[in-house]
Amino acid sequence: MRFTVIDTIPFQPDRAALVKRLRLRDGSSYLSDLERLVDEAEAVAKPKALYKVAFIDDRGDDYVVVGGVRLDSRVLAVNLDPVHRIFPYVATCGVELDAWAHAQDDMLYKYWADIIKEVAVREAIQALFEHMTETYGLGKMMSPGSLEDWPMPQQRPLFAILGDIEGAIGVQLSDSFLMTPNKTVSGLRFAAAEDFASCQLCPRDNCPGRRAPYDDTLYDRKYRKIQS
Ligand code: SF4
């Protein structure tokens, strides 16, 4: 099945939230500069996302095969044990906003532009997840690089399952598995009765993106292979 592209995502960042995030004070002379940058960003930004419905052809203790492409992860294999369908996705701030950010010639504005791109990718992921939840009722997700068990090089097979992502939404994957634009996220969603968030297996302290508390016994309880 070909992927579905979502490219009509409105972009109107919360300006008050940006002022707070950038720690600008009332009356600061920088406020009008930020207003100008946000006006420009709104005019050019086209956040986008794509996803695909894909089916598991084969599976083992620590891998699944999807459309002939193997994904290696013990945690993924256990989480996907009850399901036959997955929904790989990519969401991005968009090449248009990325090019605009690169064209900024002042270091401070470059930094602000990067934060604005971050807001745009969040809008893209929110629009994508709302669409997927409404259409398929999906809940769980995993992303390559979020766990040692499913590291960044697994971006390559995930991209292979999706197809020509660059042709569709301009996102490129480098030899070191980094995505361009830099404000791009990838992963897969699936439907399963049991709750799961990668954060439950990630001990990182003070992570602003944490969605669930770290559970230091979960891996042993649920994912550790029993040696015969
Ligand atoms: S705690 Fe942070 S780094 Fe760890 S998986 Fe969650 S979002 Fe990612």
**Ligand 1 mean position to 196 CA, how many Å?**
13
Beta-strand runs (E) in the chain: 4-6, 48-51, 54-60, 63-66, 69-72, 85-92, 140-142, 172-173, 179-180, 184-190
- Domain topology for 4-190: NADH Oxidase (3.40.109)
- Mutation test of ligand 1: which of 140, 141, 198 has the most ligand atoms closer than 8 Å to its C-beta? 198
Predicted model pTM: 0.92
pLDDT range class, residue 132, cuts 50, 70, 90: very high
Residue 56 Cβ contacting ligand 1 at under 6 Å: no
Residue 178 Cβ contacting ligand 1 at under 6 Å: no
Q: What is the pLDDT of residues 205-219, one digit of tens each?
A: 988 888 899 999 999
Residue 120 Cβ contacting ligand 1 at under 6 Å: no
**Ligand 1 mean position to 202 CA, how many Å?**
6
- Asked if the model's pLDDT at residue 138 lies above 90, the reply is no
- Asked if the model's pLDDT at residue 228 lies above 70, the reply is no
- DSSP structure string for 87-141: EEEEEES-HHHHHHHHT--SHHHHHHHHHHHHHHHHHHHHHHHHHHHHHH---EE
- Asked if the model's pLDDT at residue 157 lies above 70, the reply is yes
Nearest ligand 1 atom to the CA of 211 is 6
- Residue spans per domain, the chain: 4-190
pLDDT range class, residue 5, cuts 50, 70, 90: very high
